[in-house]
Amino acid sequence: MTIPAGPYAASTQSAPVTEPELSPEEQQFNDLIAADSRIEPRDWMPEAYRKSLVRQISQHAHSEIIGMQPESNWITRAPSLKRKAILIAKVQDEAGHGLYLYSAAQTLGTSRDDMTDALIAGKARYSSIFNYPTPTWADMGSIGWLVDGAAICNQVPLCRASYGPYGRAMVRICKEESFHQRQGFEILLELMQGTEAQRQMAQESVNRWYWPALMMFGPPDDDSPNSAQSMKWKIKRHSNDELRQRFVNMLVPQAAVLGVTLPDPDLRWNDETQMYDLGEIDWTEFHEVLAGRGPANAQRLQRRRDAHDEGRWVREAAAAYAVKIAARKKNASAADSKDLAS
């Protein structure tokens, strides 16, 4: 068995061996993590820490970018001008979040073009939630309330992630997400105060999104291979199950305000734990969607690929124009200095 590199590698050996001598920079990295300080781009860091961050941040960025699609689906059909404007602003925010995160990943030495290539080649992962379709207007409500709600629950602790640029990007994102969740809640509330057909639409949508939203927190703790290391490095601060539980505890009273039921017959208050007991999550579905066999995986990736291809000429033309203008400026200043010399 090969021992993985990194500061925690030694702890995987069971024989009582002498502590390996740490290099000064590795010692400094460990001290910074222990002191709850932040690692910055130019600092030394274990290769595994860097790789783990690139994986997590780029997946997160891809999720924001793919996440624009289920909602942009409704921009042209939003029921009022106000809702249309809100939806456009929200989709624009998601694009912005993707860009903040790509920039954060880039400080680790990976290029945005490489990340984009990995996404459109189907080699990179993104959150399984965006592979579900949005057939009704109520889905805009459910996405805001449940999907963005789950995202906020996940992301608030990430504001304190040990890698500085990631934490800073998350602070910015969290500030903007709370509008997303509230506008979704409002869409559902208005539907629930509407006609019987509107109430049914809202409930049907919540039924479809509830379980996929709970899956957003990732596999259960005993089946989450990267979690423990991520928590030692203080990238993650809470386990998947802990965050999922926290989310449901907040959700139940909100569902009561809306007047919707959550589609879990086993959901009930536990007086002993002072928390809600949850029913069993269908992890087969989660793994199927993650493996690319969800309801909309192919469609989402194709749309992203098309957008990338159709935008190619714009990127190239803008780059060519910038080169031309720079050359023109250089020539002009060369001519100026010639004038001065003569």
CB-nearer residue toward another protein: 102 or 132: 102
- Phi and psi torsions of 268, nearest 5°: -155, 155
Contact footprint for another protein (CB under 8 A) = 41-43, 89, 92-93, 96, 99-100, 103, 106-109, 111-113, 168-169, 172, 176, 315-316, 318-319, 321-322, 325-326
Closest distance to another protein from the beta carbon of 240 (Å) = 28
CB-nearer residue toward another protein: 89 or 334: 89
The DSSP code sequence of 223-272 is: G-TTHHHHHHTTS--S-HHHHHHHHHHHHHHHHHHHTPPPS-TT-EEETT
CB-nearer residue toward another protein: 72 or 103: 103
* Distance between CA atoms of residues 247 and 21, nearest Å: 43
DSSP letter assigned to residue 15: S
CB-nearer residue toward another protein: 95 or 275: 95
Closest distance to another protein from the beta carbon of 47 (Å) = 16
* Distance between CA atoms of residues 272 and 102, nearest Å: 44
CB-nearer residue toward another protein: 113 or 339: 113
Helices assigned H by DSSP within the chain: 24-34, 47-66, 68-72, 81-106, 112-120, 138-142, 149-155, 164-192, 196-215, 227-232, 240-258, 283-288, 297-310, 312-341
Strand partners, 268: 277
CB-nearer residue toward another protein: 101 or 289: 101
Closest distance to another protein from the beta carbon of 315 (Å) = 6
Closest distance to another protein from the beta carbon of 127 (Å) = 22
CB-nearer residue toward another protein: 39 or 140: 39
C-alpha triplet 287, 108, 99: angle, nearest 5°: 70
Closest distance to another protein from the beta carbon of 272 (Å) = 44
The tokens of 184 are what? 């979704």
Closest distance to another protein from the beta carbon of 136 (Å) = 28
Closest distance to another protein from the beta carbon of 25 (Å) = 8
* Distance between CA atoms of residues 233 and 322, nearest Å: 42
Strand partners, 270: 275
